[in-house]
Structure 1
Amino acid sequence: MPPPELDFRLDDFEAADERIEEKFWHAIEVEQDMLTALAEYHSPDGAHSFYVLHNGAVTWGIPGEPQIVALHLQRDLERGTFRFEHAELPLPAMAQSWLIHRGCPRDAIGLLPDAATAPADETTRALEQRLMDDGDHFALLHSYTRDDPDDLTTVVVLRALGERSPAPFRVLHEEVDGDAWTHTLREGGFATVDEAVQWCDDRLIGEAAPLPPVRLAARSTRISGTVPATPAKRPSGRNR
């Protein structure tokens, strides 16, 4: 069943100024025919729309770049203008979290049936739920998305913000089973960013050890979560 046609609901709106118009063209419109909605929500008053999008054009660009786009459209109903925010993220749950922390109702931005792979197990499902809730606790440092049919995998490095932990750097590792149309997601904790990036590099060449468990500080009672608040500059390291 083909995905529904993507509709940004902007037929009666124009960008609030020339800068926004140019930015929207380069960020969204130029590749609109390659964007697929994985989830979307529109506020009852029509002032806001939230999208989780897959950008198929990334496949033909720089290897490893994130393929998920979170888009928040903000319409001025009286003036007939719009503004927008967007973020390019490696995992759908990260995009959902980004949108939730910008006002999208949590229960309204679930992935559309058959639009994306399903969680393969309860561990994956629980981790994704935490990702959606804790989007303001982590910064994105590094990611690599591999869309090789024989190895559909994504690795992500995050840094905990304001958390006193012996493992402040986290790795998320997603693997997709293309035949079963499912995915698994796992999390590991590292003391340094170099160790975290090295694990990702090792995974991409097939030499990674099992992910180490996340260790929280002894007095920490906050539930661990993993998704970026604000993307940060990526560290150097092998990407292939």
Structure 2
Amino acid sequence: MLSPSEPASARKPLPAVEFDVDDLDADEEVSLDFYRQVEVRSDMLVPLAEHHAGVHSYYVLFDRTATWGHPGMPQYVAVHLLRDQEKETFTFEKELLPLPVMAQSWLIHRGCPAGAIALNPELGPPPADEATRALEQRLAGDGDHYAMGYSYSRDDPDDMVTVVALRALDERAASPFRVVVEEVDTDAWTHTLREGGFATVEEALQWCNDRLTGEAGPLPPVRLAASFTRPAALPKAPAPRPPGRSR
């Protein structure tokens, strides 16, 4: 969504994120964990979407520090807060994710209404086409049918791309491994999202590596399965060695 390459003419003052937990510090361990994991860099977190419902708060945040961290790091943070005003405490969950729609999906499957966590259209490139909008809508809803094994985010203005390799949680899925690719056109300031299906993890990871080195062919089509069930356990796919970072 946000990027150092965003046209200067399109830039506006960025909104600040407010967690409203300063008075809920009765549990010092939780408060310290939240500060270390989230709040310490709150001035660099941009709220792309947030929803508050009683004691629950849900956030999709863009982490502006990610671009200076380890190459390929996810740039989005999903946060779910649950407050207890009587005990003056709170609990939280947070996850680093490579795509905004994955952050939305993570929050939806933790109780956030799907229609309440739409992204702020002024804070990132809009979808370039209907295919992108349709895929984002579907991934937001069925994101818990997949487990992420690998991702790499590149914010080079000449090739701004994120690749994500996913594994279906249904062992009977016709395309058990998928690759989702987001590409940002920094001239038109729009983004596209596409997906492809693979029979093996090796094929999916190889396509990701080829895309990052400029050697990938077209994404193979996804073969759809009739239903989804979850297996008992899911090993993560090994990550290929990322290419050199371009800045």
**TM-score of the aligned structures, taking structure 1 as reference length:** 0.90
Q: Could you tell me which residue of structure 1 aligns to residue 241 of structure 2?
A: 238
Aligned residues: 228
Question: Is 1:60–2:68 an aligned residue pair?
Answer: yes
How far the C-alpha of 1:51 sits from its partner, in A, is 0.3
The CA distance in 2 between the partners of 1:3 and 1:128, in whole Å, is 24
C-alpha deviation, 1:15, in angstroms: 5.9
Contact 2:150 2:239 in 1 (8 A): no
Per-residue deviation at 1:40? Answer: 0.4
Aligned to 1:212: 220
Query: Which residue number in structure 1 is paired with residue 17 of structure 2?
Result: 6
Q: Distance in 1 between matches of 2:234 and 2:49?
A: 22
Question: Corresponding residue for 2:106?
Answer: 98
Number of the residue aligned with 1:36 = 46
Q: Secondary structure at the match of 1:114?
A: helix
Letter in structure 1 aligned against 2:176: P
Matches within 5 A, 1:112-191: 112-191=120-199
Residue number among 70, 79, 82 corresponding to 1:71 in the alignment: 79
Opposite residue 49 of structure 2, the aligned amino acid is: A
* Residue aligned with 1:97, SS: helix
* CA deviation after TM superposition for structure 1 residue 231, in Å: 9.3
Q: Percent identity?
A: 61
Q: Counterpart amino acid of 1:79?
A: K
- State which drifts further: 230-239 or 72-81: 230-239
Distance 2:116 2:95 in 1: 19
The 1:147–1:107 alpha-carbon spacing in structure 2 relative to 1, beyond 3 Å, is: same
- Partner residue in 1 for 2:7: none
Alpha-carbon distance in structure 2 between the residues aligned to 1:116 and 1:52: 13
Q: Is the 8 A contact 1:144 1:156 kept in 2?
A: yes
1:153-179 alpha-carbon deviations (Å, 9 max, x no partner) = 000000000241232000001100122
CA distance in 1 between partners of 2:92 and 2:39 (Å): 12
Other-structure match for 2:9: none
| Code of the aligned partner of 1:3 | L
Secondary structure at 2:143 match in 1: coil
Secondary structure, in 3 states, of the residue corresponding to 2:50?
strand
Match of 1:227 in 2: none
Task: Classify the secondary structure of the residue corresponding to 1:66.
Answer: coil
Equivalent residue number for residue 226 of structure 1: none
In 2, are the aligned partners of 1:15 and 1:83 still within 8 Å (CA)? Answer: no
For structure 1, list consecutive stretches of 5 or more residues without a partner in the other structure: 224-229
Counterpart for residue 32 of structure 2: 22
User: Residues 123-162 of structure 1, C-alpha deviation per residue, up to 9 Å, x if partnerless?
Assistant: 0000000011002200000000001111110000000002
| Cα shift at 1:21 | 2.5
Structure 2 unmatched runs, 5+: 1-11
Distance in 2 (alpha carbons) for counterparts of 1:102 and 1:155:
25
- Equivalent position SS for 1:152: strand
- Displacement of 1:110 in angstroms is 0.1
The whole-number CA distance in structure 2 between the counterparts of 1:160 and 1:38 is 28
CA distance in structure 2 between the aligned counterparts of 1:90 and 1:171, rounded to whole angstroms:
13
Once residues 58 and 234 of structure 2 are traced to their aligned partners in structure 1, the CA distance between those partners, rounded to angstroms, is 19
